[in-house]
Amino acid sequence: MTFQEQIAQGIPSVLPNPKPYEPEINHAPKRKEILTEEEKKLALKNALRYFEAKHHAELIPEFKDELEKYGRIYMYRLRPEYKMYARPISEYPGKSEQAKAIMLMIQNNLDYAVAQHPHELITYGGNGAVFQNWAQYLLTMKYLAEMTDEQTLVMYSGHPMGLFPSHKDAPRVVVTNGMVIPNYSKPDDWEKMNALGVSQYGQMTAGSYMYIGPQGIVHGTTITVLNGFRKINKNSNGSLFVTSGLGGMSGAQPKAGTIAGCVTVCAEVNPKITKIRHEQGWIHEVITDIDDLVVRVKKALENKEIVSIAYLGNIVDVWEKFDQENVHIDLGSDQTSLHNPWAGGYYPAGISFDEANEMMANHPTKFKEEVQKTLRRHANAINKHTAKGTYFFDYGNAFLLESSRAGASVMNEHPTLGREFKYPSYVQDIMGPMCFDYGFGPFRWVCASGNPEDLAKTDKIACDVLEEMMKNSPAEIQQQMADNIQWIKGAQENKLVVGSQARILYADAEGRMKIAEAFNHAIAKGEIGYVILGRDHHDVSGTDSPYRETSNIYDGSRFTADMAIHNVIGDSFRGATWVSIHNGGGVGWGEVINGGFGMVLDGTEDSSRRLKSMLFWDVNNGISRRSWARNEGAIFAIKRAMEVEPLLKVTLPNTVDESLL
């Protein structure tokens, strides 16, 4: 069968042969056993809903075996035979170009070069799933190949509920992930519902089909590290940045440190992912001996090298050893997946990687005790360094939250609303006031042709637009403009593409609209193929997350999610091609609500109309909320937006004289 024929058949009527387990692939860890015997039967019944009754007797023992071995039913047998990657849009079957673009994005999320656990349909973060099983993938791709621009595909946590009549201006796909009743949003609730096959953790851009490989987080981390050094008035050259994690998102850190121009040490316990990052060139060197690491780092600092070093071992050992050897750390952070601390997101010190995985699956209570013991050691070592002048920030991975729950010394001695911890979230002190409040966030695009020449052309178009805008930009945003012009000029040289021909930069609403309009004009003239617009959910408006995206909101509304919900609703009727809303993300299930979109530009007047309407709302919704929280940068930005658009009328806050209070 051709690729197109395989897509069109969906779930095959004749079952393919079972596939061998491939140990060389980076697989998800075994999930803990959480279902009762009755619930296991229910999980099997739920999985078998996708198959004709004649197949049930054959599949029951196989799915039972998967559930017992891996804690989930992935339906490995149904993995497609074709290679998984983002093909040029012209190679996809279908009646809707918009639907073909979504198929392209889904396959990119599952590309072996992009996905963290491709056989388990997990893109990043240890549990950020595109689908729960391979039947859902096959059925979704079939629906997308059949749909017209008068239909909308409805996705319930990876399950394609079906195609419904709509209209050309409606989204082609509407995605929800993990949207459970609030009282059932604890980590074990997710484990149970996911094992039953009724809900999934979509992370942020995994379950919304908008992940573009590590490039997205490379850019955000580069901006964070650059601004982190600016905050402490240090030149990055000859300075040391220490962090941990080399997985789907965290793997971007050493690359970002190199672009920022410092010495980066990043610890990772998984040898497989460390090897992958080294082979990709995202890290320069791998060191396995802690004493060798000390010698190498001292030499690098002395020579002011720009180098990234992976330490294959536990990050706690690095912090403790550098304290003993008086290696000064300028910037410190952590990007282990502590949103998922009991299922592979964080590993205890003093226990081998394999032993920890065995303990995680078979002795989960003991594993949790060891993780919390390590978190206390981790925090204690950081405290010793910050007493010597290190600037440490929480990188939004729930490090401080989980450390506090473990009883670690991370709480502020004199807490105020929003400053409960000793250390700030990077959004509180860096990204929030410097970027998000002014409307700058991670705007991204994918060239649907798959042609690198199209990406080069779009880079130039974006750079030209930004340079022209910068001539008349106010002083308050000149630095943001300059950083992104520098980024886009170096994008080709830094070889950031993994998977689809994609790019990211930080832009405000004006920049996003002008760049998108310039793309649409180039498409109309036949200079480039279709372009798929999107953004990270980690943005100005898309996410309500009290310890990350909205951590610099101090009016008491950090724990509300009105902004994210309004964002996705507003995007859906203003022209997005697809929209998504998720419970969970980089900081954990039950800790965040986040939403995103995708938009296909095809060079038409309809595209021009939609992009102006949707992109303006998508950014200014968040600026409005931030301005109402009395954030000075956001007040400046929303006043500027109202001057440009007379139909925009935003309620502005009045400030109170503190002496009256």
Q: What is the length of the chain?
A: 661
pLDDT given for residue 518 in this prediction: 98
> Within 10 A of 639 (CB to CB), how many other CB atoms are there?
13
pLDDT given for residue 194 in this prediction: 97
* Nearest-angstrom CA–CA distance, 188 and 186: 6
pLDDT given for residue 397 in this prediction: 81
Would you place residue 511 in the very low, low, confident or very high pLDDT band (cuts 50, 70, 90)?
very high
Question: Per 3-state DSSP, what percentage of the chain is helix, strand, and coil (rounded to 5)?
Answer: 45, 15, 40
Q: How far is CA 42 from the centre of its chain?
A: 32
> Within 10 A of 613 (CB to CB), how many other CB atoms are there?
17
Domain extent listing, the chain: 3-149+177-196, 214-424, 432-652
Give CA separation, 182 vs 306, 498, 581, 591, 594, in Å. 46, 36, 15, 10, 15
Among residues of the chain, what percentage have pLDDT more than 90? 84
Q: Residues at the annotated binding site for NAD(+)?
A: 125-126, 203, 268, 395, 586
More confident residue, 580 or 277: 580
Sign of torsion over alpha carbons 170, 454, 140, 74: negative
* Nearest-angstrom CA–CA distance, 594 and 586: 10
> Within 10 A of 286 (CB to CB), how many other CB atoms are there?
16
Q: What is the token pair recorded at 266?
A: 């990043």
More confident residue, 277 or 262: 262
- In this predicted model, what pLDDT tens digit does every residue of 272-311 receive, in sequence order? 889 988 988 889 999 999 999 999 999 999 999 999 999 9
Largest CA distance in the chain: 77
β 151-156/159-165 pair status: antiparallel
Listed in sequence order, the DSSP H helices in 289-431 are: 290-302, 315-324, 353-362, 364-386, 399-405, 426
Question: Do 538 and 442 meet the contact criterion of CB atoms below 8 Å apart?
Answer: yes
Q: Hey, is 222 helix, strand or coil?
A: helix
Superfamily name with CATH number, domain 432-652: Urocanase superfamily (3.40.1770.10)
CATH architecture of 214-424: 3-Layer(aba) Sandwich (3.40)
Lookup result for tokens 């204690």: 380
pLDDT given for residue 28 in this prediction: 92
More confident residue, 221 or 323: 323
Listed in sequence order, the DSSP H helices in 184-239 are: 187-196, 215-231
User: pTM of the full predicted structure?
Assistant: 0.90
Question: Do 346 and 596 meet the contact criterion of CB atoms below 8 Å apart?
Answer: no
Would you place residue 575 in the very low, low, confident or very high pLDDT band (cuts 50, 70, 90)?
very high
Q: Residues at the annotated binding site?
A: 125-126, 203, 268, 395, 586
> Within 10 A of 410 (CB to CB), how many other CB atoms are there?
25
Average pLDDT of 580-593? 92
In this model, does residue 403 exceed pLDDT 70?
A: yes
* Nearest-angstrom CA–CA distance, 264 and 308: 5
Would you place residue 425 in the very low, low, confident or very high pLDDT band (cuts 50, 70, 90)?
confident
pLDDT given for residue 244 in this prediction: 95
pLDDT given for residue 313 in this prediction: 96
Average pLDDT of 383-392? 97
In this model, does residue 251 exceed pLDDT 90?
A: no
Mean pLDDT of the residues in the chain: 94
Among residues of the chain, what percentage have pLDDT more than 70? 100
- Of the candidates 404, 388, 400, 389, the residue with the CA atom closest to the CA atom of residue 425: 400
- In this predicted model, what pLDDT tens digit does every residue of 596-608 receive, in sequence order? 999 999 999 999 9
- In this predicted model, what pLDDT tens digit does every residue of 137-182 receive, in sequence order? 999 999 999 999 999 999 999 999 999 999 999 999 999 999 999 9
- In this predicted model, what pLDDT tens digit does every residue of 434-482 receive, in sequence order? 999 999 999 999 999 999 999 999 999 999 999 999 999 999 999 999 9
| DSSP 8-state symbol, 182 | G
pLDDT given for residue 337 in this prediction: 84
Give CA separation, 254 vs 314, 517, 528, in Å. 16, 34, 33
In this model, does residue 248 exceed pLDDT 70?
A: no
pLDDT given for residue 249 in this prediction: 66
The DSSP bridge partners found for residue 332 are 242, 392
Give CA separation, 193 vs 189, 198, 287, 525, in Å. 6, 5, 40, 49
Q: What is the token pair recorded at 634?
A: 């956001």
Average pLDDT of 184-206? 95
* Nearest-angstrom CA–CA distance, 102 and 313: 39
Q: What angle do CA 591, 173, 207 make, to 5 degrees?
A: 35
pLDDT given for residue 490 in this prediction: 82
